Amino acid sequence: YEVVNDGKQIYFLNEDYNLLKAELNNQDKEKIAGDIKWFQSGNEYIIYAIDDIVYIKPDKNEKEKVTDEYYEFVALSDGTVIYSTDESELYMKKYGEEKVKLASDIQSFKVSEYEKSLSYCTNDYKMYLKIFDNEEAVAIDNVRDYNDIYFSNSLIFRKTLILDDIMGIWHAYENEETILIEFTSDRNINIYDNGEIEWTWPAELTTRNIEGYDVSDLYFGTYPNSRFENFNSLHYINENEIEINGKTFRKIDKQELDEKLQLQKTEFEEKQKKEELKRKIDEAYAKALDIQHTYQYITVDTANLRDAPSMDGEILGTIGKGSGFFINYLEVDEEGNIW
């Protein structure tokens, strides 16, 4: 309920969401409307919403539709309504008059405490001041030069992390391997692997405070079976250092990227060689198990007989093609050779 006109009138919702008006020293109640979502009253006007449609009604006149599309809404004491839309437009509406468009491409607005002016921030990070019945003027050229901005004791802007703040190339290590990612000017993220771009994905960032210990949420899809599959939380430390899922990344330039890519490519090639050697050794062990304790024959023209299971072992003699022998014991060396 709300009390207006020095306590002479009360507007209230009953349990059936009917909006009623009662007056002092009068037991009768007047029904204003039903199915009310919310209302706000003043001495001369009452403003209420039914099914997301906002109406304004003077105390002694018929209701009038204000809007059916609003994102943020402020009603002044004289019944003037100021609201923003989902399309980031700002309007003013007075009873009996057409709505007036005040601004476009806004991200927030506030009305002064004494309802003499309003201020709004646009998506290009300018802040405007408009004294009612006067033209607006730019108050701040770039609100992102400040962490918090208040207008009439109300927070109108808080600096939050955006993709522009982390645009560039970032480097980290994981298990001694080089990790390289890049946030590009076209709002994508590049993941480098094996010395080249492994994949590109649109990046989306939702965040809270740019400073302190608040964590931002970073979304750029998932890449199954990849080390980047769960990269979805980002902490901004400073312009040269960020954390993604707790892993610290350092910002690097293009020259260092080229150097890191070459290092990453070398690491990849060495890893491939190790994996190939491991595969060869595993296959050799499997083959060794198959032929151990069996009778075999020499299939090449000449086989060397050495004094140790190594290519460095001294040659003691040779065995000719077709010679038979029984395998009692086998060894597999570090190169995958069977002895």
The model's pLDDT over 113-154, given as tens digits with 9 standing for 90+, comes to 888 999 999 999 999 999 988 999 999 999 998 989 999 999
As a whole number of angstroms, the distance between CA 229 and CA 222 comes to 5
Take residue 48 and report the two structure tokens written for it. Answer: 């209420």
Q: How many angstroms separate the Cα of 168 from the Cα of each of 50, 107, 253, 330?
A: 48, 26, 8, 55
φ, ψ of residue 327 to 5 degrees: the values are -90, 110
- Report yes or no on 333 lying in a domain: yes
- Residues 311 and 222 reside in one and the same domain: no
- Residues 145 and 167 reside in one and the same domain: no
- Report yes or no on 135 lying in a domain: yes
As a whole number of angstroms, the distance between CA 253 and CA 33 comes to 64
pTM for the full predicted model: 0.61
User: Domain tally for the chain?
Assistant: 3
Q: Which of 163, 219, 227 is nearest to 198 (CA)?
A: 227
As a whole number of angstroms, the distance between CA 29 and CA 307 comes to 113
Residue numbers of the domain that contains 212? 163-257
Identify the pLDDT of residue 222: 47
As a whole number of angstroms, the distance between CA 248 and CA 237 comes to 9
* Contact indicator for 247, 237 with CB cutoff of 8 Å: no
- Residues 153 and 231 reside in one and the same domain: no
What is the edge-to-edge ordering of all strands in the sheet holding 216-219?
A: 196-202, 188-193, 177-183, 168-174, 247-252, 241-244, 233-238, 216-219, 204-206
Count of CB atoms within 10 A of residue 83's CB? 21
Take residue 102 and report the two structure tokens written for it. Answer: 């005040």
Q: Counting Cβ atoms within 10 Å, is residue 287 exposed (0-12), middle (13-18) or buried (19+)?
A: middle
Q: Element (H or E) spanning 81, and its range?
A: strand 81-84
φ, ψ of residue 180 to 5 degrees: the values are -130, 125
- Residues 242 and 311 reside in one and the same domain: no
- Residues 108 and 176 reside in one and the same domain: no
- Residues 146 and 184 reside in one and the same domain: no
In order along its 339 residues, the chain shows pLDDT tens digits of 888 777 778 888 888 888 888 888 888 888 888 888 877 787 778 888 888 888 888 877 888 888 888 888 888 888 888 999 989 999 998 888 899 999 999 999 999 988 899 999 999 999 999 998 899 999 999 999 898 999 999 999 988 888 888 899 999 988 777 888 899 988 888 888 878 888 888 877 766 544 544 445 555 544 444 555 555 677 888 889 988 878 899 999 989 888 888 887 888 888 889 999 999 999 999 998 999 999 999 999 999 999 999 888 899 999 999 999 899 999 999 888 999
As a whole number of angstroms, the distance between CA 305 and CA 292 comes to 18
- Report yes or no on 272 lying in a domain: no
